[in-house]
Amino acid sequence: MGWLPSAPNGIGMCQDGGVNSHWMERTATVTKTIMIGVDLAKNVIQLHAARMTGEVEYRKQLSREKFRRFMAEQPPAVVVMEACGSANYWARELSRVGHTVKLIAPHYVRPFVKRQKNDAADAEAIVIAAQRPEMRFVAAKSEDQQGRAMLFRTRTRLVHQRTELINMLRAFLYEFGHAVPQGVQQCQRIEAIVKEANSDLPEIVRSECLEILDQITGMTARIKRSDERIRALAAQTDTARRLQTMPGVGPMTALAVDAFAPPMESFKSGRDFAAWLGLVPRQHSSGGKARHGRISKAGQADIRRLLIIGAMSRLNWMGRKSIIAGSWLANLSARKPRMLVAIALANKMGRGVWAMLTRQENFRDPMAATVA
C-alpha cells in the first residue's frame, strides 16, 4: 500500500483511496520546529530552512516541479514567503500537504537582507524577519477572492484605458481647432465633430478618430458587462449585502472589501482597520511633540479610494439632504473644507465596516442615535 503525500484535499491518502492514519497522527502530534523561508520566482525557487532557535538546517535552490515534490515529502513546517506574485497559489498548495503558511510584506523583509542582494540572502532574510515576535503577516487569499479581485482590477484597467483614449481624441481635435470638455459623456460630441459632412478635418484624421471611437465603444460595453457581474456577485454574498446597508457603499465598494480586505478578526479595532487602509494622518512626532501630516495612504489603495468617493457622494448637493442637522458630520462640514470632511467620513466608514463585519450586523447610523 503506497503513500501519496500530495492528496488534493491535503490529507495523506493510500493508493487504495483510504486515509493514511500514520500521516494523520504525525500531522496532529508533531510540533513544527522548522521554519522554511521561500524566495519565489518564475523558474527557480530558493529555500532557507532553520530551526526556531536559529540554527540553519539546509539551503536549496529548486525548480518549480522539484519544489512541489520536495515540500510534499517534508514533515509539517512553518513556511514563510513574501506576499508577491503566485504567493497565494503556493500558500494554498503547501497548506494542502500539512504546512503552516505565512505571508510577509516585502518591505518588512528588506531590512534583514545582509549586504549582497541575491535569492539565498532573500530567503534567509525572510526567516529572520518571520521569527521576530512583533512581525505582522498577510492573510492568504482564496481562489474566489482572487477571482473577484481579478474582475475588479480588469474593470479598473478598462476605465483607465478608455479615459486615455478619450483624452487622446480631445488632444487630436484640439490641434485642429476643436476644444472638447472632459468626460466620457463627451464621446457623442466628438463623434458628431468627426462625422460632420462639412468637417475641416483631414481624411486621415477622421479615419483614425473613428477607429479610436470604435475602441471606446467596445470598452464601454465591456465595462457595462463587468458592472453587471459585480452587481450579481455583490448580491450573492452576505458580506457584500450587509456592507451595502451603509450609506455611500455600493456594489463596487462592497466587492472590493470582500476581495481585498483580510479577515476582520486580524484587526483589534476599527482604528487598526482604518490605519491599514491609510486613512489616518502620517506622524512626524519626536521629542514628545506630535506632528501630524496628510493621510498615510498605506495599505489597500482600492478600498481607500472607493470609501473616499462614497464619502464625497454623501457630501454633494443631493447627499447633503440626508445629513442630520446637529450631527457630527453636519458640524464638521460647517467648519472644514469638503475634501477634509470626506476623508474624515471615509475613516469613520472604514471603522463602521470593521464593526459591521465583526459583529455580523447591518449598518446603524450612530449620528441619528446621537441626535435623537
> Mean pLDDT, to the nearest integer, of 188-214?
91
In a domain, 56, yes or no: yes
Question: Are residue 161 and residue 120 in the same domain, yes or no?
Answer: no
> Mean pLDDT, to the nearest integer, of 173-177?
92
Residue 366 pLDDT level (bands cut at 50, 70, 90): low
User: What is the percent of the chain where pLDDT is above 70?
Assistant: 88
In a domain, 12, yes or no: no
Question: Are residue 171 and residue 204 in the same domain, yes or no?
Answer: yes
DSSP 152-214: HHHHHHHHHHHHHHHHHHHHHHHTTT----SSGGGHHHHHHHHH-TT--S-HHHHHHHHHHHH
* Cα 207 from Cα 43, distance rounded (Å): 45
CA-angle at 130, arms to 268 and 53, nearest 5°: 120
Number of domains the chain is built from: 3
Question: Are residue 230 and residue 242 in the same domain, yes or no?
Answer: no
In a domain, 116, yes or no: yes
Q: Has residue 7 got a pLDDT over 50?
A: no
Predicted confidence (pLDDT) per residue in 49-84, tens digit: 999 888 999 999 999 999 999 999 999 999 999 999
139 close to 263: Cβ distance less than 8 angstroms: yes
Predicted confidence (pLDDT) per residue in 274-320, tens digit: 999 999 888 777 777 777 778 888 888 999 999 999 999 888 865 66
Task: Write down the pLDDT at residue 319.
Answer: 63
Nearest to 184 by CA among 146, 219, 233: 219
Residues found in the chain: 372
* Cα 256 from Cα 354, distance rounded (Å): 14
Task: Write down the pLDDT at residue 69.
Answer: 94
Q: What is the CA radius of gyration of the chain?
A: 27
In a domain, 177, yes or no: yes
Task: Write down the pLDDT at residue 4.
Answer: 38
> Mean pLDDT, to the nearest integer, of 205-214?
94
* Cα 126 from Cα 137, distance rounded (Å): 12
> Mean pLDDT, to the nearest integer, of 246-268?
91
In a domain, 158, yes or no: yes
Predicted confidence (pLDDT) per residue in 85-126, tens digit: 999 999 999 999 999 999 999 999 999 998 888 999 999 999
101 close to 94: Cβ distance less than 8 angstroms: yes
> Mean pLDDT, to the nearest integer, of 16-35?
51
Q: How many helices and strands (H and E) does the chain possess?
A: 15, 9
Question: Are residue 216 and residue 278 in the same domain, yes or no?
Answer: no
In a domain, 97, yes or no: yes
Question: Are residue 215 and residue 266 in the same domain, yes or no?
Answer: no
Domain region containing 339: 238-284+295-371
311 by Cβ neighbours in 10 Å (0-12 / 13-18 / 19+) ranks as buried
In a domain, 8, yes or no: no
* Cα 162 from Cα 48, distance rounded (Å): 45
In a domain, 108, yes or no: yes
Question: Are residue 70 and residue 100 in the same domain, yes or no?
Answer: yes
Question: Are residue 270 and residue 362 in the same domain, yes or no?
Answer: yes
Q: What is the CATH number of the domain that holds 87?
A: 3.30.420.40
Torsion of CA 164, 165, 171, 175, to 10 degrees: 160
Q: pLDDT averaged over the chain?
A: 86
Question: Are residue 246 and residue 363 in the same domain, yes or no?
Answer: yes
Task: Write down the pLDDT at residue 21.
Answer: 41
Question: Are residue 351 and residue 263 in the same domain, yes or no?
Answer: yes
